[in-house]
Structures are given as C-alpha cells and as structure tokens.
Amino acid sequence: MGDHSEKGQHALLNEGEENEMEIFGYQTQGCRQILCLAGSILSLGILPLVFYWRPAWHVWANCIPCSLQEADVVLLRTTDEFQTYSRKKVIWIYLSALNSAFGLTPDHPLITDEDFIINRAIRKPDLKVRCIKVQKIRYVWNILEGQFQKIGSLEDWLSSAKIHLKFGSGLTREEQEIRRLICGPNTIDVEITPIWKLLIKEVLNPFYVFQLFSVCLWFSEDYKEYSFAIIIMSIISIALTVYDLRQQSVKLHHLVESHNSITVSVCGKKDGIQELESRFLVPGDLLILTGHKVQMPCDALLIDGSCVVDEGMLTGESIPVTKTPLPKMDGSVSWKMQSETDYKRHVLFCGTEVIQAKAAGPGTVRAVVLRTGFNTAKGDLVRSILYPKPMNFKLYRDAIRFLLCLVGTATIGMIYTLCVYVLSGEPPEEVVRKALDVITIAVPPALPAALTTGIIYAQRRLKKKGIFCISPQRINVCGQLNLVCFDKTGTLTRDGLDLWGVVPCNKNGFQEVHSFASGKALPWSPLCAAMASCHSLILLDGTIQGDPLDLKMFEGTAWEMAVSEDDFHIKGVPAHAMVVKPCKTASQVPVEGIAILHQFPFSSALQRMTVIVQEMGGDRLAFMKGAPEKVASFCQPETVPTSFASELQIYTTQGFRVIALAYKKLGNDHHTTSLMREKVESGLIFLGLLILENRLKEETKPVLEELISAQIKTVMITGDNIQTAITVARKSGMVSEGQKLILIEANETTGSSSASVSWKLIEEKKHIAYGNQDNYINIREDVPDNGREGSYHFALSGQSFQVISQHFSSLLPKILINGTVFARMSPGQKSSLVEEFQKLDYFVGMCGDGANDCGHVRLKMAHVGISLSEQEASVASPFTSKTPNIECVPHLIKEGRAALVTSFCMFKYMALYSMIQYVGVLLLYWETNSLSNYQFLFQDLAITTLIGVTMNLNGAYPKLVPFRPAGRLVSPPLLLSVIFNILLSLAMHIVGFILVQRQPWYSMDMRSACTVQNESISKLTTSPPAPEKNGSNSAFTSFENTTIWFLGTINCIVVALTFSKGKPFRQPTYKNYTFVLVLIIQLGVCLFILFADIPELHRRLDLLCTPVLWRVYIVVMLSSNFIVSLVVEEAIIENRALWMVIKRCFGYQSKSQYRIWQRNLANDPNWPPLNQTSFSDMSGCDRGVSYSNPVFESNEEQL
C-alpha cells in the first residue's frame, strides 16, 4: 500500500499506478461540526461555498486526524504536481443479511479462508466490511495488512494452477452472494447527470460567484443595463456549457448502456449451468461461452477452448484476434508471469465481441471472470474520459497569477478609495460601495468568457477540417508542440500491404525470387504450406477475416478455407477445425488439405506466431512466421543461409516489409494442446522470406517536410524491422539527403561480458555529397554546428532502447536529442519513450491509428494525442481526425499557435481595459466624482464586449514558422508590453486630468465653456444647459469626467488595434473583417459624440460640452498615445531579432533540458561516436550527468 506514518494515518492508494493517491484518515468531531454549522449560518452560506471549493479545508475544520483503521472520513490527495484534494466517507457493508439465507457465521469456512482480499476485509464477529469508493472503484479495508485495497478483480498473485483448481468448476451460491455484496454490481454505470446538478456545479464556479457579487453590487448602484447584459451573457455561457456536458454525458451513457444488460451462462459449483444477467457477475464466476456472437460484459480469463475476438473497441482496429486458454502449470508463480507469452492472449476484454468460440474436444469454452465493472478494460477507458488527467500548462498557472495581481491592484485601489471618501466625510454605505466598485473594475468579470471564445472559435475551425476535440483546453497546448511521434503502419504508410514476392531457400541458400506480379501460381513446397496455414484467419459467414498481412499471404497461395464437418474423422483432428485446401485449379499438390490444430498467436512482444497443423494423409507439422531475426534464432543454424543478413538487408533497405517462415515435423503421438510452446518452437528448418510492400501515403512526405522546416522534431516509432523503418524515414523525408544515420545497437549482459552499445554509420546505396544542409535536428538557432559535415540521426531498436535505459542511463538523453527512428518497439517501450521525451522538456504530440493493445494509452500520455481512428477506443484520445492521414498534425499546430496568441492578445487587452477604467475612476475619486452608469455601460458593453467577441476571430496563419509563440504570460516581451501601455495610459489620463483643470474656461459657467473660443452666440443655443447642483447628474457631470471618459473610451479601441496580432501565427488583422468593421463603427461613434453638440446625447451620457480646441487636444493626446504604443509594439515588443540580441548580450540561454543537452553535445568533439563499442563497466558510461524533470516525472503518467 505504501509508506505508513507512525500512527497509520497516511498511506498510498494504487501505489506505482497512473492514478496513485495519498490517503489520510480523519474522524468526525461533533463539536467541530456544530461550530462549522454556526459559521455557515453566520457567513450566509459563504463558508459551505469555500468548503465546496476546498474539500481539504472542510475535512480539517470538521475532523481530527486518526489512523486509517479508525477513520470515518478519508482525505485523498493526488501525487502529481497538482496535489488535488478530494473527500470520501468510509461506508460499511453488512453481511448480516446473508445470515438467515445461508447461516453465515464468523467461523464459516467461506469467511475463515484468508487466501483472498474479500475474506481479509470481513470484520469478525459482526461480519461487516469497511470500504470507500474513489472514481467509481471500490476499495475495502484489508484487516490483515492494514490498508485499503482495490476490490472487483481476481488477485494478481494467484497461480494458474490455483485458478484452475479454485474457479475451474465455478463458485458456490454463498460465495457468489458474498462477492456480489462486497464487490458491487458488474456495471459500467454512467448516469446521465441531471441538468439541475450540472447547473448547480457550473453556477458554483468561483468565476460565476464573483459575477453574482458584481451584479448585486451594480444593482445596488442602479447600474441595471450592464448587469442585465452580464446576466444574459452568463446565462448563455452556462447554458452552452451545461448543454455540452449533458450531450457528453448522454453520449457516454449510450456508449456503455448495452454492456449492462447482457444475459450470460454461468456454471455454479453445485447449481450447474444457469442463465444470469451480466450485472450479477462477480470475480471468480465461471462463464460458459457458446458458439454465438456475444459482447463480453466483463474481463475474463480463458481456461478452456479458444476464441476469436473483435477488439476494435479497445485497439481501434477491427481485426479478429485469437485467444488461447491459460495453460495449467505447476508452481506458485503469478499467472501473469508464468510464460513469456503476453498474458493478454488469454484474456477476453470487456466490451470486445467474441465472434467465434471453439471447444478443445467434447467440452465447452470456459472463462473465469477476472474483473468486473469499472475495473475492466472498458471501465478503465470510460474512467479516463470521466476523470481526465488535469493539464499542466504554464499558461493557466500564469493566468491565476495574473488575476491575483489584478486583485492586489484592486486592494490598493480600495485602500485609496477608503482614505479619499472617509476624509471627504461621505456616508459609510457610499464609502463601502465605492470601495467594492474598485474590485469589479480592476478584475473584469468578463475575462474568463473573453478567453474562452478564442478556444471555441479554434475548436469550430478544427471541426470544419474534420478534427474533433474532447479536451478544448489542449488546443492551446498544440501551439507549443516541438516534437511529434508517428506510428508507421497505417499512419505514415498505407494500411494495406501488397504481396510482392517470396524468396525460398534450400541447403544451397536462397533461391530465385518468386514474384506474385507474374501471375504464376506458387509451386507446392513446405513454404507454400506455411503461407496457407500459418495465420490467425477465420471463416465468418462465408468470408475470410483477419489481419491484413495474413489475408494477403493466404490469398497469394490461391488456396481456400473451410471448416471440418461432424463426419470429418482424422486421428487427432477435432470436428469443426479450420481446414485449408488447394483450389480445384491448383495442380500437383500432394495433399488434400491441411487442418489447423492449434495456434500460438502472434504477439508484438514475441514478434512471432506458430501453428500446429495436420496434413490430411500426411505428417503433423509446426509452422512459424515472424520477424526474420527472431525466426532465424529458433532455426537449426545449418538451415539458415549464410547470406541471410545481406539478403534481408537488400529488401528492408528498399522499404519492403519482410516476414520469415520456418517449420518442423512433429510426432503424431503427442496430444496437441499438451505441447509446450518452447518445445514446438525449437530446432526449426528455415523456409524463406515473404516480401510485402508497404507504400507511403501521398500526404506523408509534404507534411513531414512542413514540420521539419518549422523546426518541429519528427520521430518514427514502429514495431517493424529497423531497416524497413530507416528506408521509410529516408523516403518520407524524416531523414533528408545528406544527413548521416547512425545505427545504435545495445546488447544485454551475457555471461562474462557486460552490456555494450555500438555505433555504426549507415551508408546510403548512392553517393551523396554532404553539402550545406538545413541543420534542423542536430542543432537549432542558438546552437552552432561547429562546421560539422551535415547533421545526424540515430536509429535503434526496442531491445537496444531497453538496454540503454537500464545500463547506459546517462547516454539516453544524448541519444534522444537526435533519435529519429525507433523500430521493433513493444507497446510498453513506446509509452516509455514518450515519457523520456517529456522528461527532456519536449512538448510531445503523438499521432497514430491506435491499432494495438495500448494505442489509446500512448495517445493520452503525450501532451497532445491525435487518433486517426474512428473506433470507440479513440474517444479517450484528446483529438480525433476523420481524415486518416497526418495532414491533421500541421493543422492542429497552426490552430494551437493561433489560439495561444489569441489568449495572450485577450489577456493583454483585458488587463489594459481594466487598468484604463481603474486609472480613470481613481483619478475621478480624487474629486469624489466617478463615471456614470451610462458611461460605464458604453465602455463595458458597446466597446469591450464587442471587441472581446470579435478580436478572437482571426484564423490561423497558413504557414508554419520555425519558432513557437511564447508559452507563458510572464515572458519579458509580454510583461513589458502590458506595463508600458499601462504607464502610457496613466500618463495620458493624468496629463488630461491636470490640463483640463488649468484651462481658462475651467472655472467658467459650464454653459459658456463651449463658446469661449467661438464668438458666434448662436452656439449657446446648442450647448447643454448648465446642470443644477442638486440635479440628478450633479454627482458625475464635470470637465474632468468628460475628459477622462473620452480618453478612456477611445483608448480602449486604440489598444485593441495595437494588441490584435496577425502574422506569423494568425491571419493579418485586416482579414478579420468583422473586427475591423466593429473598430471603425466604434471609433466613428466616439468621434461623433466628441464633436457633435447634441444636448440630449450629452445629458444621457452625463457629458459636458467643451471648446472645440480641447476636443482636438483630446484627439491629439489619443493619436500620440496610439503612435507611440504602435511603434513600441512593432519595433521592440514584436521584434524577435532584437530580443535574440538582448538574450545574447545578457547571456540568457534556454533552461529546457533538451536545449541544455543540445548545447553540451555541440561542444563535444567526440560526439557522436562512430564505429565504437562501449561497455557498461567502462568509466563514464553508466555514470554521467543525471537528468530529471520532476514536473513530468510526477505528472506524466503518462498516459
């Protein structure tokens, strides 16, 4: 469980897993609860609201710490950098209800057997169990070990022998009832959240609570119009969010609904086989699978018979997968560890469809329920959607700091207001109102809504391009991507494979290639028999289905497939076995057909598959196919041609996919199922090579070239042969002409020799002059190349990656900086690689079709996961593209960059808008004056709201530039821009405020000020009448008010134009026609109000008529402000070259790990080592600069 503190109050839940949490025990105290209740009443509900936002405070206020054993409340804290708290009540499950039905007593054998967690959790003699429910998973208190443990699955430590013995004949009725009560129902229950619940949750968001406070304050000041506008905008925003959440809830509910209502056959120990609703299943139940299609309602372990399963829901690829029974082996080793075969080959996963079930002999197909409910594979997928990992992006943390700065500024303003108004002798309620007003001015309530619109627009643009997003906040993260990993097959290359030819071999070595393009039939030989039978194809409703590679191979033989009938009697061949037969047109085939008796299915970890077959009227044989290097290692050395490596290289360097085939004869006296895989797969005879063509998708090369030219590192991660992967990397432009490619081979420790790593330069077949190549991966920007001959890339296999990770950890970051091709990678290694890149501070994107057993997991692990599959599994991926090629990657990066820049523009604008209003109001407070409601309304609604909605409409710039936008709000250029513009606006307002008081007409009658510099008496009639001192406008109307309002209002428009950024990340501002039109209309209206002497308009807006010359002065001040602001923004703030010079002058260097390593390697004359071999016991190999990034280590899960 984890590290227990001395009192046992603290422990770890799910230690080492992705959802690891710390758990603390607490006990509720009555007196504390009474005090909290009193506080809730006295604070008018504010205290419960704070407790709602901060669950930890709720626990600390109501409870006292205690041991987990005595706790009635637990506090959970995630172990990532977010340290998120949640509160859970400990509940009791009572078994006493089973007393009367089964006579269950504390000394009942079922209770006393402590082999299982369930029994260890039952408290005796009162027969009850303590449990908590966290993220849909139930945890019970293990009394024996003193910790909370997950329930709802069979224990991992059980051996295969124990599983066969204990569960092979089913559970008794009593066992089922006990497990049902403790484990809970076998349902993946995603309730459709009621609208009222969603509404309350949304309304209690701190942002909306602050808006409610602002609106109440404004109503008290009779500022109704903007209050109503804010209320309407909030209602629309809440309604859209609630609608979106409701739709997601309904969609997810329908996705899992069918899972909960399946009828299954269960075999009981005493009751025999009976029909049961799937929600009553418990771990340990024995399922009986019939031949009909059935959707798995749980994870189950196949113990007898074999199944063909469609795992499209999990992997994103609807290719039938063959499942084999768990062999019964002696020993106490965990069933997962007992064989080198991937244990998943024995597991039928929840949500997958069993399309064929075949018994081994006269019996039935049996499977033991392994996991139920949300513990299952499908449950895990659904939980990853219900509880997505919080995103660690500096922008959002900076946004909080930014808001705190505004709050700090507001506090200073409040103190100033209190001093001014108290000294002026204003009534207390007026003082409080004015002071609170400052908060709503300095912290604009519309800020979050304005920031969200940019992301909404980006999401809409992506949707038009067929890219769907389940996590809109990740769009901004796309703008920071600087490394993209690609799967090869189905992502960079086409899905389908074309059969090119076979290269048979005999004692004399490889023979002439048989080309399938010639149309000639493949002559009979063991090689032909291997191609016809060594596959996992099935016959379903008269059509052959299975892996595309197997399908192409079988089609090349021109054989046909059938299922043996009941009257099919050949010794050792069961009825309904799969039989392959030569077509009637085929000639000179000495066998009638071949029956497939047993399969050892293909596994990406093992890189091979084997079948045992029976020739009709002939021998019993074993055929193997798989990765050439792997197959050759199982063959008799003398049967493998000496030219094996060179022949293999001929085809792999041309980009072909190569599969090797081998066989051996078996004795007919062995029972097929009793043969161990190790015995079958030994001493084989090598048959030859199967050559398949895997062509690049047309879009691959231009997309990769676009990414590389934008200095985005591209990496290929594939399960294919390294030579094939290297060729695809060269053909696709991932490794361009003139760049060295270095193959790294690492070997494990063997006997006397320690682990070693060697470096070999891979020469291209044609001579290429290494010229001045674009040095995009080795060193960039600030890292000189030291005149080296071209840049270089590393290629390595999964095995080498594993060895380097274990024995040469200090070399790993050096290799990853220039690592481009990673071949023969297992799913686990792929996930580790993504994690290692993240530790180097790369922002990692992962693009794949999710077509393997952990595809969607890797897509979740990366900062940005893009699935090219529309299967159910892809719903866990943040982004899904309808277009099945990698064109979506640059689109996503462009939109991400545009959204990121838009966020910065909005932050800057909203900061300036609030500061302009703040400065203006505080200056007027000096005269115990303020802006009137209509003046506020005009600024807030007619100016800022319209700008906030339209400023974000700029689309993404069509070209990817070779640098990224800043990822932080606190970057020097951005801070300088905001501070400079605030100071500029402050200076302008102060100048205007002081100058207006020094005008000769300032002390005159307000009516005559208009005509001081205009001798025409007729103008008097158009001037507004002098307001009465006791009139309704006396609180606001003044020359200072009029001047400050015009300066502030038009300055908001000017700032919007200055801050609206176009190239290089967004379309130019002039292309945002709506925004430009809005600015023109707003500016026109403001100038009209400024220069038009319309008394009624002035009266409504509480303005005074001023001399025309003063109005010209206002325009001159604003124009000067605009010109200075624009020049500084363009010449300094946005001048990237200038900032690069400043960085160099101050010696600033990027602190990102990958940048540090790039600089170190650029200055290392011995890197990269060529044609060398290093050993793990050599000095400097295993010891070196350790690297670590705690942020990603704790956070990245990965996925």
Q: Which of 79, 89, 85, 80 is nearest to 2 (CA)?
A: 79
Compute the half-sphere exposure of residue 191: CA atoms within 13 Å on the CB side of its CA: 6
Spatial separation of the C-alpha atoms in residues 1052 and 1121, rounded to whole Å: 11
428-460 per-residue burial string, b: 16 or more CB within 10 A, e: under 16: eeebebbbbbbbbbbbbbbbbbbbbbbbebbbe
Region of 738 (left: φ > 0; alpha: ψ -120 to 50; beta: rest) is left
Spatial separation of the C-alpha atoms in residues 475 and 396, rounded to whole Å: 13
What is the β-pairing status of strands 91-94 and 713-717? unpaired
Measured in degrees and rounded to the nearest 5, phi and psi for residue 462 equal -65, -40
1102 included as an active-site residue: no
Spatial separation of the C-alpha atoms in residues 388 and 382, rounded to whole Å: 10
Q: How many CB atoms lie within 10 A of CB 968?
A: 15
Quote the longest CA-to-CA distance of the chain. Answer: 125
Q: Which of 935, 983, 963 is nearest to 479 (CA)?
A: 963
Measured in degrees and rounded to the nearest 5, phi and psi for residue 171 equal -100, 155
As separate numbers, helices (DSSP H) first and strands (DSSP E) second, the chain gives: 39, 42
Considering 304, 342, 437, 487, which one is annotated as catalytic?
487
Burial of 362 (0-12, 13-18, 19+ CB in 10 A): exposed
The residue written with tokens 């130019």 in the block is 1068
As a whole number of Å, the CA-based R_g of the chain is 37
Q: How many CB atoms lie within 10 A of CB 917?
A: 24
Measured in degrees and rounded to the nearest 5, phi and psi for residue 110 equal -65, -30
3-state secondary structure of 259: helix
Spatial separation of the C-alpha atoms in residues 49 and 33, rounded to whole Å: 16
Q: Which two tokens stand for residue 1139?
A: 């900032």
Q: Would you report the helix, strand and coil content of the chain in percent, each value rounded to 5?
A: 45, 20, 35
C-alpha 300 chain-centroid distance:
28
Region of 305 (left: φ > 0; alpha: ψ -120 to 50; beta: rest) is left
Helix (H) or strand (E) holding 852: none
Q: How far is the CA of 494 from the CAs of 10, 487, 546, in angstroms?
A: 52, 11, 17
Region of 1051 (left: φ > 0; alpha: ψ -120 to 50; beta: rest) is alpha
Burial of 213 (0-12, 13-18, 19+ CB in 10 A): middle
Burial of 771 (0-12, 13-18, 19+ CB in 10 A): exposed
Q: Which of 395, 1190, 1140 is nearest to 841 (CA)?
A: 1190
Spatial separation of the C-alpha atoms in residues 389 and 399, rounded to whole Å: 19
The DSSP result for 148-203, as a single string, is: EEE-SB--TT-BHHHHHHHHTT---HHHHHHHHHHH--S--------HHHHHHHHH
Spatial separation of the C-alpha atoms in residues 884 and 489, rounded to whole Å: 12
Q: Contact at 8 Å (CB) between 954 and 1072? A: yes
Q: Which two tokens stand for residue 741?
A: 């490619």
Write out the catalytic residue numbers: 487
